[in-house]
């Protein structure tokens, strides 16, 4: 069996086309577009690429986008003051503080200062707590995008064994909660787990580790669905996932490529969250 490819680029284009129409309708009704404010600190090259791409997408969709670039010598108090200002700005529906922040800044404190109603990354404890309790509000974008991919291929996770590899607050944990809320039987693996044993019995494997090709193709249960969140930059500059793609695709029913899989979905879901936040704030 050779797996069918879940094309994240094509699906994100479809999601974004829908958002563009909705954003225009919101603008027509309320006289303003959904607004996103992106905060970047310092000169991390990857952060610059991510922020540029988020801004470009926001503009493409007709959103209002503002970019706040601060030097890496900014104090914590100055950054918190900017977040407070954006919290108070009625034209801003979504606030995104690009991680990582410099070491002298307490990232958790910064993220917790964002108004939960504007937390379009879904990282605030209030939003994470709502997801945990099964009444999601703004959900972390990457796992949200994975759920959208599963929906697109018409796969219902209810009662299926789903193995999430990774337990970070931004991917693994919210991913596991979304699957649980959709009635999957969820296993969460981490660095102390027997990953091979858990993957072998999984109907759905979601790898969010950050170790290139950690998941071997021979571990994949024939007919399983494989979602690769990993984005690992090799010495040759090429991106690879956490799954051994070439061998896994010979066993899986569906698989996501890297690049062109989960990555493009994350930005689309960020925009979807911004539109949701705008609608909620405008009382729609
Ligand atoms: P992270 O915070 O570093 O978490 C990695 C997780 O993997 C941890 O829970 C860790 O376990 C686990 N782990 C590490 N080595 C392992 C091993 N050998 N076996 C099993 N588990 C292991 O990473 P993250 O932020 O969640 O990101 C994970 C990957 O997804 C990265 O490649 C990142 O670039 C990518 N990513 C992609 C997108 C996208 O849009 N496509 C978005 C976000 C992240 P412990 O908890 O035990 O340490």
Segment 49-81, tens digit of pLDDT: 999 999 999 999 999 999 999 999 999 999 999
Position 284 confidence tier, pLDDT thresholds 50, 70, 90: low
Q: Output the pLDDT for position 283.
A: 84
pLDDT tens figures, 196-217: 999 999 999 999 999 999 999 9
For ligand 1, is residue 142 a contact (CB within 6 Å)?
yes
Domains and CATH numbers, the chain: 32-115 (3.40.50.10860), 141-263 (3.40.50.720)
Q: Is 52 helix (H, G, I), strand (E, B) or coil?
A: helix
Check whether 1 has a pLDDT greater than 90.
no
Check whether 12 has a pLDDT greater than 70.
yes
Helix (H) or strand (E) holding 10: helix 8-30
In our burial notation (b when 16+ CB lie closer than 10 A, e otherwise), range 77-93 reads eebeebbeebeeeeebb
- Edge-to-edge strand ranges of the sheet holding 35-41: 64-70, 35-41, 94-97
Contact indicator for 224, 249 with CB cutoff of 8 Å: no
The tokens for 7 are 């094309």
Which CA distances in Å does 97 have to 47, 197, 198, 264? 10, 37, 35, 19
The tokens for 3 are 């797996």
Beta strands in 112-262 (DSSP E): 161-165, 185-189, 204-207, 225-228, 232-233, 239-240, 254-255
Share of the chain above pLDDT 70, in %: 100
**How far, in Å, is the centroid of ligand 1 from the Cα of 166?**
5
- Which atom of ligand 1 is least distant from the CA of 167? 9
Task: Give pTM, 2 decimals.
Answer: 0.97
Q: Output the pLDDT for position 104.
A: 97
Q: Pick from 190, 239, 271, 272 the residue to mutate for probing ligand 1's pocket: most ligand atoms within 8 Å of its CB.
A: 190
For ligand 1, is residue 191 a contact (CB within 6 Å)?
yes
Check whether 251 has a pLDDT greater than 70.
yes
- Tell me whether the omega of the peptide bond preceding residue 96 falls within 30 degrees of 0, making it cis: no
Q: Pick from 57, 141, 171 the residue to mutate for probing ligand 1's pocket: most ligand atoms within 8 Å of its CB.
A: 171
* 248 exposure class (CB count in 10 Å sphere: 0-12, 13-18, 19+): buried
Contact indicator for 138, 276 with CB cutoff of 8 Å: yes
The tokens for 228 are 């690769």
**Can you tell me which residue has the tokens 């109907």?**
203
Cα separation of 275 and 65, whole Å?
Answer: 12
Q: What is the mean pLDDT of residues 96-111?
A: 97
Contact indicator for 240, 232 with CB cutoff of 8 Å: yes
Contact indicator for 235, 177 with CB cutoff of 8 Å: no
* 55 exposure class (CB count in 10 Å sphere: 0-12, 13-18, 19+): middle
Q: Whose CA is nearest to atom 35 of ligand 1?
A: 230
């Amino acid at each position: 069996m050779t797996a069918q490819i879940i094309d994240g680029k094509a699906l994100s284009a479809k999601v974004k086309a829908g958002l563009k129409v909705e954003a225009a309708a919101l603008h027509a009704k309320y006289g303003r577009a959904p607004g996103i404010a992106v905060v970047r600190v310092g000169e991390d090259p990857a952060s610059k690429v991510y922020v540029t791409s988020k801004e470009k997408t926001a503009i493409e969709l007709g959103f209002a986008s503002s970019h706040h670039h601060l030097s890496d010598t900014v104090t914590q108090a100055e950054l918190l003051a900017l977040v407070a200002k954006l919290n108070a700005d009625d034209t801003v529906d979504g606030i995104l503080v690009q991680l990582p922040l410099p070491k002298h800044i307490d990232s958790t404190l910064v993220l917790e200062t964002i108004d939960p109603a504007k937390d379009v990354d879904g990282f605030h404890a209030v939003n994470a707590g709502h997801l945990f309790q099964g009444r999601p509000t703004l959900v972390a974008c990457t796992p949200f995008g994975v759920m959208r991919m599963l929906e697109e291929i018409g796969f219902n996770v209810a009662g299926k064994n789903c193995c999430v590899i990774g337990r970070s607050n931004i991917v693994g944990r919210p991913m596991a909660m979304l699957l649980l809320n959709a009635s999957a039987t969820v296993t969460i693996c981490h660095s102390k787990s027997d990953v091979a044993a858990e993957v072998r019995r999984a109907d759905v494997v979601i790898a969010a580790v950050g170790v290139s090709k950690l998941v071997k193709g021979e571990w994949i249960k024939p007919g399983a669905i494989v979602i690769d969140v990993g984005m690992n930059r090799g010495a040759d500059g090429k991106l690879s996932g956490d799954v051994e793609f070439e061998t896994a695709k010979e066993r899986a029913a569906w698989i996501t490529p890297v690049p062109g899989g989960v990555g493009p979905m994350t930005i689309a879901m960020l925009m979807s969250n911004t539109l949701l936040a705008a609608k909620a704030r405008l009382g729609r």
